[in-house]
């Protein structure tokens, strides 16, 4: 009884195994690429200009094709289906048999470069789906790159000066945008830049699993993630503080550029880099690189819905009149901890003193000549308690009861050691007295609300008492 049962089980498993083996053998003998090579041979025969060529075409072997890129220990088998890429007779054929467009393969011989150095895809694979790495279930991190971003590959081996006129203009344009849109206000590159977002040095070679794909439309690959995130960061990463406003075209350019930021370096025999691109060092260029993303043209003080706080107007004459270079340098160097305003000094965001001075020169180019009436803070005997009473009535509405500003508050964070410790009390006093014309910050002195100098000194004392660190 039992033995018959086991016998049938054995029989069935045996059959399954045999079917599987037959299938596997069939697959082995008839790989997907064979079909394409047969098509290729037929095309060769059909297109043959003369009898000799036809004869030759008939005798070509249908066989496994592979290129070994020795310095990289990489194998490309794309030629299994794309045998015609290098064959002028295939000029009018259809892909995959078609002769490669342009003179890319003349400049980069297939035997040395293969295909994946430019196109990505999975070089070892011999079926189309895996080789192209496309589709939801291929799990290949670097699928074929869409043509609109393919220029990013050129930057692995060529410099910008060369690429500008030799088929890599999208990389060059993208790099310029990267600087002018102020991406480095929030991202470090080569150790320099803000820290609201992560460093981007190797973002282009991060595996797919690194990116949260949930909200990506279409194929879930890095290319689509980058583009869609540029167009609308909060759609791809809900709540993102990335503050960019880009057109479709700009998003494509920046996708191309960010894809050039990769971990691996090409071996010497592949690199044709002659010039390193100089980074502009003048104040305006630096302002764009590091400050423009948040401060814009510097003239508008407004509550920002993305950062959920006010971004102050740092080129507003009323601000510049009171903030002398010394205070500006301190503010920029120390930043405002706890706000998106990074500390820009060498040991933090990585700017050199000279660069910060150049930025200050640019910010202050329209500083009014008239100096503010001085405020001799040290002359006053201050009453912190009185300052607190005044603060709660006059200031808390905008700066928050705790002085922290931020979410749902127009005023800046005054509880910040960077405000209390690093700027002069005179700067605070003059700001409170004269306000910031053109922004919501009112003038509280005689010409405005009518507080006395003593009241203002008390307010300053209170602000400076917010934390122990604030005391001199």
Q: Which residues fall within 8 angstroms of residue 16, CB to CB, at 6 or more apart?
A: none
Residue 428's closest CA among 468, 389, 385, 382? 382
Are 439 and 312 in contact by the 8 Å Cβ rule? The answer is yes
Verify binding: residue 272, ligand HEC, rule CB under 6 A.
yes
User: Measured between alpha carbons, how far is 396 from 365 in angstroms, rounded to an integer?
Assistant: 33
Verify binding: residue 170, ligand HEC, rule CB under 6 A.
no
Q: How far is the CB of 46 from ligand HEC (least distance, A)?
A: 18
Given candidates 44, 57, 93, 126, which one binds ligand HEC under the rule CB under 6 A? Answer: 126
Q: Which of residues 35-74 bind ligand HEC (CB under 6 A)?
A: 36
Q: How far is the CB of 200 from ligand HEC (least distance, A)?
A: 6
Verify binding: residue 253, ligand HEC, rule CB under 6 A.
no
CA Rg value for the chain: 32
By CB atoms closer than 10 A (0-12, 13-18, 19+), residue 373 is exposed
Q: Which of residues 66-125 bind ligand HEC (CB under 6 A)?
A: 78-82, 85, 95-96, 98, 100-102, 104, 107-108, 110, 113-119, 121-123
Given candidates 231, 441, 457, 461, which one binds ligand HEC under the rule CB under 6 A? Answer: 441
| Neighbour tally for 38: CB within 10 Å | 11
Q: Which residues fall within 8 angstroms of residue 123, CB to CB, at 6 or more apart?
A: 74, 75, 76, 77, 78, 114, 115, 116, 131
Q: How far is the CB of 300 from ligand HEC (least distance, A)?
A: 8
Token pair, residue 422, equals 């690093």
Q: By rule CB under 6 A, what string of x and - marks binding of each residue 304-323 to ligand HEC?
A: ---x-xxxxxx-x--x----
Are 156 and 260 in contact by the 8 Å Cβ rule? The answer is yes
For ligand HEC, the closer of residues 32 and 54 by Cβ is: 32
For ligand HEC, the closer of residues 54 and 148 by Cβ is: 148
Stretch that binds ligand HEC, among 12-20, 29-37, 214-222, 375-383 (CB under 6 A): 29-37
Token pair, residue 373, equals 């009436």
Given candidates 384, 410, 437, 454, which one binds ligand HEC under the rule CB under 6 A? Answer: 410
Stretch that binds ligand HEC, among 9-17, 135-143, 371-379, 403-411 (CB under 6 A): 403-411
For ligand HEC, the closer of residues 441 and 457 by Cβ is: 441
């Amino acid at each position: 009884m039992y033995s018959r049962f086991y016998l049938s089980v054995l029989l069935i498993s045996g059959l399954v195994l045999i079917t599987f083996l037959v299938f596997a053998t069939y697959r082995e003998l008839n790989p997907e690429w064979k079909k394409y090579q047969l098509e290729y041979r037929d095309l060769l025969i059909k297109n043959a200009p003369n009898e000799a060529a036809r004869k030759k075409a008939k005798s070509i072997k249908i066989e496994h094709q592979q290129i070994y890129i020795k310095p990289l220990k990489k194998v490309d088998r794309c030629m299994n289906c794309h045998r015609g890429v290098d064959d002028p007779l295939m000029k009018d054929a259809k892909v995959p048999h078609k002769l490669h467009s342009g003179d890319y393969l003349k400049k980069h011989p297939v035997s040395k470069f293969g295909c994946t150095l430019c196109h990505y895809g999975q070089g070892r694979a011999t079926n189309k789906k895996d080789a192209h790495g496309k589709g939801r279930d291929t799990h290949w991190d670097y699928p074929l790159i869409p043509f609109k971003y393919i220029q990013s590959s050129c930057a692995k081996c060529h410099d910008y000066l060369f690429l500008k006129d030799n088929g890599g203009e999208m990389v060059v344009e993208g790099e310029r945008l990267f600087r002018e849109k102020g991406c480095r206000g929030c991202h470090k590159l080569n150790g320099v830049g803000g820290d609201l977002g992560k460093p981007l040095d190797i973002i282009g070679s991060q595996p797919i699993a690194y990116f949260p794909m949930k909200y990506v439309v279409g194929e879930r690959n890095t290319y689509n993630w980058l583009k869609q995130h540029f167009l609308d960061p909060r759609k791809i990463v809900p709540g993102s503080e990335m503050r960019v406003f880009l057109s479709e075209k700009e998003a494509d350019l920046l996708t191309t550029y960010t894809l050039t930021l990769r971990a691996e370096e090409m071996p010497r025999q592949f690199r044709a880099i002659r010039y390193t691109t100089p980074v502009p060092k003048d104040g305006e260029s630096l302002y764009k690189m590091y400050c423009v993303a948040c401060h814009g043209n510097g003239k508008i003080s407004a509550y920002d819905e993305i950062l959920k706080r006010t971004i102050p107007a740092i080129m507003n004459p009323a601000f510049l009149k009171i903030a002398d270079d010394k205070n500006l340098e301190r503010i920029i160097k120390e930043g405002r901890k706890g706000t998106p305003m990074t500390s820009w000094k060498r040991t933090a965001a990585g700017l050199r003193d000279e660069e910060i001075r150049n930025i200050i020169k640019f910010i202050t180019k329209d500083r009014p000549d008239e100096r503010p009436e001085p405020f001799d803070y040290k002359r006053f005997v201050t009453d912190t308690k009185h300052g607190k009473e005044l603060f709660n009535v006059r200031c808390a509405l905008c700066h928050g009861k705790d002085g922290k500003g931020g979410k749902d508050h127009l005023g800046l964070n005054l509880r910040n050691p960077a405000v209390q410790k690093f700027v002069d009390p005179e700067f605070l006093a003059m700001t409170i007295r004269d306000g910031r014309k053109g922004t919501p910050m009112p003038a509280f002195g005689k010409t405005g609300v009518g507080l006395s100098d003593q009241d203002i000194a008390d307010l300053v004392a209170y602000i400076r008492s917010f934390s122990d660190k604030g005391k001199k």
